[in-house]
Structure 1
């Protein structure tokens, strides 16, 4: 192990030494060498054929990394030398190449290509490619799809926009980590918390820990706080998702579940531009359940007593005999029916000269709550990007700094329970508050209940800070040969303080409860160094790109959790110095080290045959010494067959055609640290240790073998484009708990077993330019995915605890259910099948499998532009099954509210409170009866904007401006009767939000 690490370090030191040597030479290099002529500033304006300026056009000096984009007036400025070739590219326009002579002013007119297959660069991680030339599966969204959405996390902006990318927003409260799956679930481990199934997040070349931050106030339906919350949406230029082996294998063990690349915006050269944006609005819960009113509820309750032949008394019918039978409260309205105010402000400044450009962007976001109480979420973000090129063009430096700080005051554990309480609480339950505004305890005690807002005066504040820093250094040794160093640093800190004063609880219990606090401090730090050598050579019709590099990364995660008890005054809660007792629940620091060598060879012939080879050797400290290193690699190829004469001459309607495919292996080290070591914990009595984990030196990587085939087609001069992809991913060598004999003293040992999970699927993407005139444009994009997931093999699964969770040949996201056989005509109660006729019901009788995964999903996006007006709307659709909302409350007849229609349904048992009725309800709630259609069609985003005419903007000294209105989750069509078909259960549904704002650029 040490020898392998030493070899990697020596390779890195040699490359880094070479970089430092040539950088020192570059500082004193004369700019007038024969190979590199004196550069000059070249500027101009880029327009379309109608003479209108085109903002955002990419201009690069060919075969270099130097590049800029046009500003809102279509202007640009870039350092270049005579003989250099400037390449102008923009989505929807044909690329333009101009060889410079001595001119310093170059104005360019670009012709519409109506193509999504143009030359706009796509970030593929360690290198850039284009939509036309890519051999891998890469999906992309740009800033215009992200920045105006009133959301906290950038991942939420991807819903419905990408084939093969499944995103679930967990509830409507801000700050919670959304669930993202790229082409399915690969790992068996901890499916509830996504451990082993998280993608790799990379921001400006710096990988960050994608695992959500643990929280004491986040309920079980969520998985913590997302580290991406502190990224400013207005600072993001694009998000790319790498999916197949060709795209992800260069990331080795970190790319098994896909890669999410986030690129922040860069500055314009020369001209200084100031842009300001502000919007505000409101959000409300997008759905409520249609529940019984008081009269309907009482009727069901009285029918239950009649069916059971039981006399109502105070102990079993306090809702009928003690509580007001004429009272009605819409608890959903009271508990999560409020309005959350939303405010957002952004300011950015960009500019520079012929050598240096920079951009500084800052933002503020505040979001209120739909719950009772004064709760909110706030964040402040800042982003700085600096690009510098030396006079001779040989040295280039990119520096990126992203900083974000947020404060989350949501007490999620209470808020989430309020949603469930609002659904279940009888509509005639007493008031929450007394007339003087204090909590009403007396009336609730009469019904042997606790006030649902017990804990209202508890407070939770989570403060987070996140710093991401990256420096990319380039030096051109000679034409076609460059050295590069990618250096990164991250520092994330989170401080959560939960205060629980006595007044949150019934005063009669104050003698037995103590004011207390919980303080959790989480820290994550990492550094990254990646020296690289890049070679590019053109010879005739051939082009060769070679990349060789190394990765050195170290992470340090720490967490300390402390509880304080016995505070004498409420104002002192949280100050551990004055607490009577302090208990340290968690105190740990974990170090993780990761090293790698990687290489890529890219070759193309005549820009129509492409071959991409990638390889990586990874070493991870999470594995035992016997299995610490592993090799990964992939092959990708593409053929643009529309360039062949026999195609172009005969199929004139086909403007573009490409076949591509890939095959390769990636790995997965998303496991706990130190899992291969013996572990002990101290006994309750001092001086003792108890073994809690056995050593396993052969504990090793999971492997994911990926294969893909795809075809891309463009018709009628690329007015209609489509791509069809088929993929198959097999994840094997699964890390699971292997059962041990009880004589060992341990139930399981974490080990690699030859279990294999397979994900297959079809993905279809269509884009079209339906109408394109001077005054009116209409564009459409559509994607749909058909994923299939199954456990392909798991030897001796019946000997493990997984036997009650999974079935061979079935998906991982399933429920094992009893077979429902109907209502027993004699009792009027539910009945399920006893498969083995043994008189008992256990997992051997659960023969029905419900797939909770998506059968298909996708989105359709339309954009309309008429003169200065524009409108855009995105529909998201999902076909899936889920658990019926009728079984999310309780047995009909108990002291719980029910859905409308419960009295008229032939599939529900008669109202009853007997033990037998409760038992049959429990069996039925785990049977095929609960399966329902949970598909939905949702208007995910809708926006309208008006661009100010130039006459107006000139009067106010602005170069550009617009007003806009944005809506989120405005409409949802679904047969599902629960709160949110996207996240099945009694959780807060996503918010329906409407915001309006203004943007000006000077």
Structure 2
């Protein structure tokens, strides 16, 4: 498989190189096409007030969409009418308009205007806005912040960079889906909390892809196949004003991913490459061999039990001087990661394009030759007619990845805490050592080591956007999108992975997943101005269809290991299952944006949604929102009273969105065939009456800028209430069913404060320093749940408390007679159950955020991001006395000191531990401060680059998760569930970026 994939990689690169060469020649030919007589070429240089060139300045012909950008020397070339006007714009500088007036050369100096930062365009989905004019809550990160991070999915690059956006890794294996929550958990169902992903205008299924590999329940991230280096920006829509135009699809927030476009006039090639290593950053402080053996011997003494080969194999059968650091054995490896990216862009004043490809590979820290590999290709084509009436944009993103992992082994906590004197797991001939482990009555802990899982996915995301100007202020636009995702998973389980004493056949497990969707969105866009009043409006429709298919089965009885996976060689096909579903969605939507004098803004959105997931009488529902903003800093009395206030805006919004994230066909009866021939039995009860969940969102915010916007501050308060919850309504056992899908008047509320700040601390010709900061204070509460105590969720949720809680016993100290842990028997009935779990522990984060600093000095740049989280966690690695390694924290118990119980392996001691494990005793402060990213870059001098014919050459090094400061005693405070698991890896990379 690896050899085939290697060939695929080189063939793809050769083909890509040929295409780039062809396009390069075509683009050169295009640039010498004779121009119409009424047009003329204009060249020039754009500089700042110090005479330094400004690269990246946008120059457009006024009242057209024709434009270009300056190169690193501030030079530009554009074709314009002799009587036309050129518009020069760049973030941080005032926009300038200069008539062409038959001039063939126009060079200018731009004046700094920090307030112009508010004019940067923000993608709001069906329309664009600016930081100054937005009425909704939209967070944004750009390519410079994410493109060179060594991550598989772009979602992983957002950690710590956005207020209200909480991202936790799903695991340490490459390709594992992360969990993302935008302003908390809204639904009682796990599948009801996924945000909407939009890539270049096309929605994709955000639910992680099912897998049977060691990735587990987290699933595969559907964004894995994207090229992170090809992303221009990621916007996250959070409040009602921003999300309501997406209706039911935006109930949990919207993530808009925009890919890069061509450069305009001329051609260019950009290449970047990095390579590096990844390791596990932390270890548990566990007992060494002598400490462990002393603990074990004390357990037998305390229990007054005679050690035998059955109960004390580690004392009597195993080497007493042997020491193995099982943590180092399991996850002490070094994983290599490499990324190569190549893009070609060019065009003329009417057409631009960008074509690129990338190759990414990442290994694992576990023993064995396992890795993740990805090849991507992308194309973006933009065209406009000479009369500027017709526009076309084509976006194609395609990715193939292969995830090669060990199958069906827990490679973290189960093996890393083996006794330090445990025998070798391998024999000298690299076969599994069964003999020594079998003498102790145990299976080899690496049972299944030779299993192998290979998951191959293909992902195509394409969008064609067409627009035509019907009259002066009216434009017709349509988006046509198509996605195709398929996953093929094959797990091989050879006989040699298991104990030869057991009769186990060679077998295989197969899982195929196919997702297809198409979407059509016609729109009419009308913009006009009447004096000081400006109106932007849009009306459109959405037609969408999703088809999914899942097939799973097992093959058994292969005569040879080499045949495993070849179903024609299997003796038996077992547990075959095929599920096909179809989902249809339609909507009408509209938006009217009104502003008066660019000071007073009102944004009205509405949408009527229809979903095939509900019965015929409940398929349609209406959603909408209103957003408003007042830029009070433009009022004359404010300017006079507060001259230091450069910008001030109040904004607020209220609206409703829906949620239809449930299974398909739930309103119909479902049947399965009986084991015997000719029979059916019901598996699901029908309920045609359930309908949409509804999420009501309210927000108020203030945005301030001081001292010419050198310091900007934004504070937002929000309240989201999700009710009419779609959950399983419990039924009596006599019905034969545990529940039926229904709406319950349960209400989940998320409230919180978000603070975002940016500052320009210092700036001169050579040195700049900027800081950005964000912090979120989220609160989640189950406000209402009728008859909760009679439902199956009685021991999961509590009214008045968050959804993510633990019900715990009250710890009452060590028993003075036995020395064992004790917890309170609240009702004095002599048993311990959920009636005694009276303490409610909130497992949510109290607050989280990040602080980022960016420095530049001449050709050097330096950036670092600290992520911080305030939370609680559990640490349970202290059950001393049993044949498992534990924390060195238990050593004082040898002297009957400290807070841990008497060392014992008795049933009473283990029961006491099980009780205390579910009390406040193991709860710790799991807050952390983490150096999330750090980057150092150097741009080679222009004089040197001119000599070798290169536009830009940048060298850089990047670090991720290098330092974590935390009082938590476990492996990873980001995953503080028990203490012996981890999800965060430390990565260091170095590379270069070249632009020709």
Q: Same fold (TM over 0.5)?
A: yes
Q: 1:903, CA displacement in angstroms? A: 2.1
1:1001 corresponding residue in structure 2: 995
Aligned to 1:320, what secondary structure does the other structure show? helix
2-structure distance, mates of 1:66, 1:280? 39
Shift in Å, 1:845: 1.2
Distance 1:130 1:437, change over 3 A: same
For the 8 Å contact 1:757–1:789, the answer to whether it is kept is yes
Structure-2 separation of matches of 1:841 and 1:492: 49
Displacement of 1:738 in angstroms is 0.8
2:780 corresponds, among 763, 784, 789, to 789
Matches within 5 A, 1:596-745: 596-745=587-736
| CA–CA separation in structure 1 for the residues paired with 2:637 and 2:780 | 40
Structure 2 CA distance, aligned partners of 1:91 and 1:449? Answer: 67
2:560 corresponds, among 563, 569, 587, to: 569
State the number of aligned residues: 955
Q: Deviation at 1:313?
A: 0.8
Greater displacement, 106-115 / 500-509: 106-115
Q: Which residue of 2 aligns with 1:23?
A: none
Which of 452, 475, 490 does residue 468 from structure 2 map onto?
Answer: 475
Q: Secondary structure of the residue that 2:278 maps to in structure 1? A: strand
1:427 and 2:420 aligned: yes
Distance in 2, matches of 1:634 and 1:83, equals 45
Matching residue within 208, 212, 215 for 1:216: 212
Q: Give, in angstroms, the shift of residue 577 of structure 1.
A: 0.9
Q: Which residue of 2 aligns with 1:755?
A: 746
- In structure 2, what is the Cα distance between the partners aligned to 1:77 and 1:526? 42
Aligned to 2:442: 449
1:277-676 matches, within 5 Å, as: 277-411=272-406, 413-414=408-409, 417-509=410-502, 512-676=503-667
Higher mean displacement: 427-436 or 789-798: 427-436
Q: Residues of 1 paired with 2:731 and 2:70: CA distance?
A: 65
Query: Hey, what does 2:10 align to over in structure 1?
Result: none
Q: Alpha-carbon deviation of 1:859?
A: 0.3
Deviations 1:792-818 (CA, angstroms, capped at 9, x unpaired): 111111110111100101011111111
Q: Is the 8 A contact 1:937 1:974 kept in 2?
A: yes
Residue 54 of structure 1 and its aligned partner are, at CA, apart by 3.1
The whole-number CA distance in structure 2 between the counterparts of 1:785 and 1:686 is 59
Conserved? CA contact 1:49–1:109, under 8 Å: yes
| Residue in 2 that maps onto 1:256 | 251
Confirm or deny: 8 A CA contact 1:979 1:989 kept in the other structure. Answer: no
2:266 to 252, 271, 285: 271
User: Which has the higher mean CA deviation after the structures are superposed, 952-961 or 159-168?
Assistant: 952-961
- 1:899 equivalent in structure 2: 887
Partner in structure 2 of residue 26 of structure 1: none
Gaps of 5+ in 1: 1-35
Equivalent position to 1:917, from 899, 909, 913? 909
Give the corresponding residue for 2:137: 137
Q: Distance in 2 between matches of 1:548 and 1:85?
A: 32
1-side partners of 2:427 and 2:459: how far apart?
43
Q: Secondary structure at the match of 1:187?
A: coil
- Partners in 2 of 1:266 and 1:374 — Cα distance? 38
Find out whether 1:247 has 2:242 as its counterpart. Answer: yes
- 1:808-839 alpha-carbon deviations (Å, 9 max, x no partner): 01011111111111111111011111111121
Post-superposition offset of 1:955: 2.1
What residue in structure 2 maps to residue 29 of structure 1?
none
Q: CA deviation at 1:692?
A: 1.1
1:25 aligns with none
Aligned to 1:19: none
Report matched runs for 1:89-108 at 5 Å: 89-98=89-98, 105-108=105-108
Q: 1:723: how far off? A: 0.3
* Structure-to-structure mapping, 1:85-164, within 5 angstroms: 87-98=87-98, 105-115=105-115, 117-164=117-164
Task: Go from structure 1 to structure 2 and tell me whether the alpha carbon gap of 1:635 and 1:75 turns closer, same or farther (over 3 Å shift).
Answer: farther
Q: Provide Cα deviations, 1:603-628, integer angstroms capped at 9, x if missing partner.
A: 11111111100000000111111210
1:203 to 185, 199, 205: 199
Q: Name the CA shift for 1:59/1:252 in 2 (closer, same or farther; >3 Å).
A: farther
Give the distance between the partners of 2:69 and 2:605, measured in 1 at CA. 30
Choose the corresponding residue for 2:970, options 968, 971, 978.
Answer: 978
1:676, 1:695 within 8 Å by CA — same for their partners in 2?
yes
User: Gaps spanning 5+ residues in structure 2: where?
Assistant: 1-35
1:678-737 residue CA offsets vs partner (Å, 9 max, x unmatched): 111122222221111111111211110001011111111111111000000000100111
Measured against aligned partners, the alpha-carbon deviations of 1:827-879 in whole angstroms (never above 9, x if no partner) come to 10111111111211111111111111110000000011011111100000000
Gap change, CA 1:570 and 1:74, over 3 Å in 2: farther
1:300-340 CA-partner distances (Å, limit 9, x unpaired): 11111111111111111101111111111110111110000
Is the aligned partner of 1:934 residue 2:926?
Answer: yes
**In 2, Cα distance between the equivalents of 1:60 and 1:747?**
65
Contact 1:400-1:470 within 8 A present in 2 as well: yes
User: Is the CA contact (8 Å cut-off) linking 1:483 and 1:533 kept in structure 2?
Assistant: yes
Q: Is the 8 A contact 1:89 1:119 kept in 2?
A: no
Aligned partners of 1:43, 1:617: CA distance in 2, in Å?
Answer: 51
- Structure 1 residues 839, 627: CA separation in 2 closer, same or farther (over 3 Å shift)? same
CA distance 1:764–1:83, change in 2 (3 Å)? farther
Equivalent residues of 1:186, 1:731 under 8 A apart: yes
Kept in 1: contact 2:65–2:388 (CA 8 A): no
SS at match of 2:296: helix
Query: Paired residue for 1:955?
Result: 947
| Correspondence for 2:5 | none
Greater Cα offset, 209-218 or 96-105: 96-105
| Structure 2 CA distance for aligned equivalents of residues 808 and 38 of structure 1 | 73
Deviations 1:590-642 (A, max 9, x none): 11100000000001111111110000000011111121001000000111111
Distance in 2 of aligned mates of 1:876 and 1:549: 41
Tell me the distance in 1 between the aligned counterparts of 2:108 and 2:668: 64
Superposition deviation, residue 110 in structure 1: 2.9
Q: Following the alignment from structure 1 to structure 2, what is the Cα–Cα distance between the partners of residues 88 and 120?
A: 14
Query: What is the RMSD of the two structures over their aligned residues, measured on CA atoms?
Result: 1.9
Structure 2 length as normaliser, TM-score?
0.94
1:992 matched residue in structure 2: 986
Q: Shift of the alpha carbon at 1:584?
A: 4.8
Alpha-carbon distance, 1:984 to partner: 2.4
Classify 1:69/1:904 alpha carbon distance in 2 versus 1 (closer, same or farther; 3 Å). farther
Query: 2:68–2:265: 8 Å Cα contact kept in structure 1?
Result: no
Report what 1:16 is aligned to: none
Select between 109-118 and 497-506 the one with higher mean Cα deviation: 109-118
- Three-state SS of the structure 1 residue aligned to 2:734 is helix
Q: Are the aligned partners of 2:67 and 2:349 in contact in 1 as well (CA < 8 Å)?
A: no
Aligned residue number for residue 834 of structure 1: 825
Change (3 A) 1:293 1:343: same
| Partner Cα separation in structure 2 for residue 990 and residue 918 of structure 1 | 31
Residue aligned with 1:737, SS: strand
Residue 55 of structure 1, CA deviation: 3.5
Conserved 8 A contact 1:173-1:988: no
Instruction: Considering Cα pairs closer than 8 Å and 6+ residues apart, tell me whether 1 or 2 has the greater RCO.
Output: 1
Write the distance in 2 (CA, Å) between the matches of 1:390 and 1:79. 14
Alpha-carbon spacing, 1:109–1:472, altered in 2? closer, same or farther (3 Å)? farther
TM-score (norm 1): 0.93
CA distance in 2, matches of 1:167, 1:412: 27
Name the counterpart of 2:959: 967
